[in-house]
Chains A and B, each alone.
Chain A
């Protein structure tokens, strides 16, 4: 049974994005950016490839999310800490875990609205050809999960620092690392100071590999596990940081 306070907090957080310019800026940039990049005049362009699939659309989603999700996540706790309302929140009849999850899900819901805002591409591809809807569904599911992972990272760094800019930069760096963990240049760098086993472990942390697999139309349990553990652990870290704050 979801606590009534949690519901209130969820709606307050969710609606707050629509009361400030931040939410609109995010939506406009995200939707314009993905649309523009999908149709960008290059060899990989959706219209030039003439293939009724959303490969060229999903290719840019993780990179757009990398830039924009930390911007959504940065204010979650840093703002509360800076304005002091966090103290008030701790006095509410909800646990830290509930507070963290509620805020996280409210922001995730907002980002999901942004992702769902790309729906015209579905009409486009359905009008032009005969797409594989199973693959497209999985692509969207993957996009939601990537956004959730980045947001969990953003929540963690937002709780770490009172300064929103610092938490934004740290989030982007951390998200880039988990996004590109399987990139050979990154692995090469890791291999200069770590044994091979560590390099293999590092490679398995890549968000992009899991997303690309889903986007091709195959869902492994390991994908679900990966995103669930990533989100869960970063949020757990977030809770620890908040407890530490409250203790101090």
Chain B
């Protein structure tokens, strides 16, 4: 073999070895990784590890991904390919942490094969890429008793939720004993009258069907959810009681809640000074608020008060949006976008780590010291938040709300957790039910039985109540959004609900998995400018309105003075005043435009400055340095001949190595 042939052979061999090394090495070394993200997005959370460590029966995971089809698709499918790789590696981490209890199978279902039939039979979602190619991307978990749980489709856009979804899948496939959540509400939160199947048929027939709130459906994935009737006189058999918008409850029902808590029951309560999710508001108008005095009496014993007609507001957490379609978008005080600022400082598993909640007209909670009860804040505004009062039509006028609001110095609390031994709000025992006592033997027997039933004056053991001052937070309208795959989780509102339920039940593993998510990193500097500009705008609007009101008052005063003799003069005066006012308003409006324009221009200016800094600043410096360096070299060459560094390196080396070369 000649030297040339040998070299060619080596080149070909090195090409093959490169491909081999790349493929084998990257496949083998994928599992070793370092997560650089602040939120540790790519490492398995402790909750998942804890659930995996508790596995005591085998689970088989079948990951269906149409890889061959995806490799033939459009460029857009590369995102899905990458997501598949991410999920596959994540599942391998699951297998590694499962003490051999999880078996993973990756299946590429080709069209018209038994694998495709299986995928369809399991209920995975099928998409058509072309006329011949179909696409699946889902997973099936099977436990040893044959119970199957599926995720019908993985959406790369929901990447932050993937670990939670997978852990949930495994958790539900284990089929642990379900806990019971009782839901008690003045609203139609749960509709048990029709099954989802019947509801679908009814909808197809064009009939309107009231669905249960979606958060309760999410809770159903792990637990049993039952509706507690409003005429109940005793609450038992539930692990946690969720009370939503308590108003109009009978005394007996409030007493039952009181005794349920004292008996060791756990309570999750949603109250609201203005619940816009109450359908009666839409039909009859007005404001739907809770708690009513009856329930407020219970809360008083817990040491928590919701101030009536008072709302928590925070300029820095207010959402941008459009209240009126004819108005330009602006900041809305009523809609609060709670980020990490609302939950930082509390290490509760319920809200710790949450950074994306949407609240509508949240109320302001105030705690009172009650012996034996410890309160901890779960959700609060920033230090600059404050409470404001508003009622009736004012709630529909964003400008009025802004006028009523002023920045505060202390956070306003919107959710509390109270733990301890509670005292009854009914020291005299069962309140009368208002109906006539039944007579006869039966009534006597019932009375005797009631006496027997132990009336609790205080908790025997520690119990817990979580109170959230917003009902809308868990309503479908604010916790979910529509997507082409049906309703999708819009924010972490539902997470707050499920976290609170599970923390009260005592299963905290799923909690830590769920709260893992992306931290939003907004442009704080720009937000500050926007807020400043809006404050200026508001001041100007206030000034304009004050001027209008003043002139209107003057005009009406003139009107009152008018009689037949002076009406012509007064009309002239009125006209003059009107003209003056129009002039004044025009001036103020100009100033208003100026404030708005200057705010916008400042933001645009910052954008332009940074654009210039990043596009032309360094290139210009490079050009200047290049010209300077070139001139310097030319000058040195003209002065001293070729500069030192111009000499070829070989010459220097030749000199240094002498005659050896």
Interface residues of A (CB under 8 A from B): 4-5, 8-9, 11-12, 15, 18-19, 21, 23-24, 27-28, 31-32, 34-36, 38-39, 47, 50-53, 85, 88-89, 91-93, 117-121, 123-124, 127-132, 134-135, 137-138, 182-185, 187-188, 191, 196, 199, 201, 203-205, 209-210, 212-213, 216-222, 225-226, 229-230, 233-234, 236-237, 240-241, 243-244, 247-248
Q: Are A50 and B623 in contact (CB under 8 A)?
A: no
The contact of B521 among A131, A205, A248, by CB within 8 Å, is: A131
Looking at the assembled complex, report how far the CB atom of B613 sits from the nearest CB atom of chain A, in whole angstroms. 5
Q: Are A220 and B30 in contact (CB under 8 A)?
A: yes
Q: Are A184 and B72 in contact (CB under 8 A)?
A: yes
Q: Are A220 and B29 in contact (CB under 8 A)?
A: yes
Contacts of B74 in A (CB 8 A): 184-185
Q: Are A199 and B71 in contact (CB under 8 A)?
A: yes
Task: Answer yes or no: B127 CB below 8 A from chain A CBs.
Answer: no
Measured CA separation A19–B619 after assembly (Å):
17
Q: Are B19 and A222 in contact (CB under 8 A)?
A: no
Contacts of A24 in B (CB 8 A): 622-623, 626
Measured CA separation A191–B130 after assembly (Å):
16
Looking at the assembled complex, report how far the CB atom of A211 sits from the nearest CB atom of chain B, in whole angstroms. 11
| Given A219-B33, A221-B32, A35 contacting B614 (CB threshold 8 A) | yes
**Chain A residue nearest in CB terms to B71:** A187
Q: Are A130 and B524 in contact (CB under 8 A)?
A: yes
**Chain B residue nearest in CB terms to A208:** B78
Taking A185-B74, A196-B68 as known contacts, 6 extra A-B pairs with beta carbons closer than 8 A to each other, sorted by chain A number, are: A9-B649, A88-B650, A187-B72, A222-B27, A234-B18, A237-B14
Looking at the assembled complex, report how far the CB atom of A239 sits from the nearest CB atom of chain B, in whole angstroms. 10
Task: Answer yes or no: B661 CB below 8 A from chain A CBs.
Answer: yes
Total of A-B residue pairs, C-beta within 8 Å? 231
| Given A52-B522, A247-B3, A222 contacting B623 (CB threshold 8 A) | no
Measured CA separation A92–B660 after assembly (Å):
10
Q: Are B41 and A47 in contact (CB under 8 A)?
A: no
Q: How many residues of B contact A (CB 8 A)?
A: 76
Q: Are B617 and A218 in contact (CB under 8 A)?
A: no
Residues facing A in B5-20 (CB within 8 A) are 7-8, 10-11, 14-15, 17-19
Q: Are A28 and B72 in contact (CB under 8 A)?
A: no
**Chain A residue nearest in CB terms to B646:** A19
Q: Are B622 and A47 in contact (CB under 8 A)?
A: no
Contacts of A201 in B (CB 8 A): 19, 23
Contacts of B19 in A (CB 8 A): 201, 205
Q: Are A27 and B68 in contact (CB under 8 A)?
A: no
Looking at the assembled complex, report how far the CB atom of A209 sits from the nearest CB atom of chain B, in whole angstroms. 6
Task: Answer yes or no: B638 CB below 8 A from chain A CBs.
Answer: no
The contact of B33 among A21, A34, A220, by CB within 8 Å, is: A220
Q: Are B613 and A124 in contact (CB under 8 A)?
A: yes
Interface residues of B (CB under 8 A from A): 3-4, 7-8, 10-11, 14-15, 17-19, 21-23, 25-38, 41-42, 68, 70-75, 77-78, 81-82, 85, 519-526, 606-607, 610-611, 613-619, 622-623, 626, 629, 633, 645, 648-650, 652-653, 656-657, 660-661
Looking at the assembled complex, report how far the CB atom of A26 sits from the nearest CB atom of chain B, in whole angstroms. 10
The contact of A137 among B31, B36, B645, by CB within 8 Å, is: B36
Looking at the assembled complex, report how far the CB atom of A36 sits from the nearest CB atom of chain B, in whole angstroms. 5
**Chain B residue nearest in CB terms to A220:** B33
Task: Give 10 pairs: A residue, B residue, CB < 8 Å, sorted on A.
Answer: A28-B622, A91-B650, A123-B613, A132-B36, A132-B37, A135-B38, A196-B68, A204-B27, A213-B82, A219-B33
Looking at the assembled complex, report how far the CB atom of A113 sits from the nearest CB atom of chain B, in whole angstroms. 10
Q: Are B522 and A50 in contact (CB under 8 A)?
A: yes
| Given A196-B68, A204-B22, A120 contacting B626 (CB threshold 8 A) | no
Contacts of B38 in A (CB 8 A): 132, 134-135
The contact of A38 among B30, B614, B616, by CB within 8 Å, is: B614
**Chain A residue nearest in CB terms to B129:** A184
Q: Are A32 and B616 in contact (CB under 8 A)?
A: yes
**Chain A residue nearest in CB terms to B660:** A93
Looking at the assembled complex, report how far the CB atom of A117 sits from the nearest CB atom of chain B, in whole angstroms. 5
| Given A199-B71, A220-B29, A120 contacting B613 (CB threshold 8 A) | yes
Looking at the assembled complex, report how far the CB atom of B90 sits from the nearest CB atom of chain A, in whole angstroms. 11
Q: Are A127 and B30 in contact (CB under 8 A)?
A: no
**Chain A residue nearest in CB terms to B89:** A220
Contacts of A23 in B (CB 8 A): 626
Measured CA separation A24–B630 after assembly (Å):
11
Measured CA separation A99–B394 after assembly (Å):
79
Q: Are A183 and B33 in contact (CB under 8 A)?
A: no
| Given A28-B622, A201-B19, A19 contacting B633 (CB threshold 8 A) | yes
Q: Determine which residue in B19, B29, B82, B610 has the highest number of CB atoms from chain A within 10 A of its CB, and name it.
A: B610
Contacts of B525 in A (CB 8 A): 127-129
Measured CA separation A78–B70 after assembly (Å):
41
Q: Are B615 and A93 in contact (CB under 8 A)?
A: no
Q: Are A52 and B75 in contact (CB under 8 A)?
A: no
The contact of B34 among A5, A11, A129, A219, by CB within 8 Å, is: A219
The contact of B611 among A15, A47, A213, A240, by CB within 8 Å, is: A47
Contacts of A50 in B (CB 8 A): 522-523, 526
**Chain A residue nearest in CB terms to B643:** A19
Measured CA separation A31–B618 after assembly (Å):
7
Q: Are A47 and B521 in contact (CB under 8 A)?
A: no
Looking at the assembled complex, report how far the CB atom of B105 sits from the nearest CB atom of chain A, in whole angstroms. 17
Q: Are A217 and B35 in contact (CB under 8 A)?
A: yes
The contact of B615 among A39, A91, A131, A240, by CB within 8 Å, is: A39
Measured CA separation A77–B278 after assembly (Å):
76
**Chain A residue nearest in CB terms to B622:** A27
The contact of A226 among B26, B78, B633, B650, by CB within 8 Å, is: B26
Measured CA separation A38–B458 after assembly (Å):
64
| Given A8-B653, A24-B623, A36 contacting B615 (CB threshold 8 A) | yes
Looking at the assembled complex, report how far the CB atom of A82 sits from the nearest CB atom of chain B, in whole angstroms. 16
Measured CA separation A52–B19 after assembly (Å):
38
Q: Are B11 and A237 in contact (CB under 8 A)?
A: yes
**Chain A residue nearest in CB terms to B619:** A28
Looking at the assembled complex, report how far the CB atom of B42 sits from the nearest CB atom of chain A, in whole angstroms. 4
Measured CA separation A117–B621 after assembly (Å):
10
Contacts of A21 in B (CB 8 A): 626
Q: Are A184 and B75 in contact (CB under 8 A)?
A: yes
Looking at the assembled complex, report how far the CB atom of B549 sits from the nearest CB atom of chain A, in whole angstroms. 38
Measured CA separation A237–B649 after assembly (Å):
25
The contact of B623 among A9, A28, A183, A210, by CB within 8 Å, is: A28
The contact of B42 among A52, A93, A218, by CB within 8 Å, is: A218
Looking at the assembled complex, report how far the CB atom of A8 sits from the nearest CB atom of chain B, in whole angstroms. 5
The contact of B10 among A32, A137, A240, by CB within 8 Å, is: A240
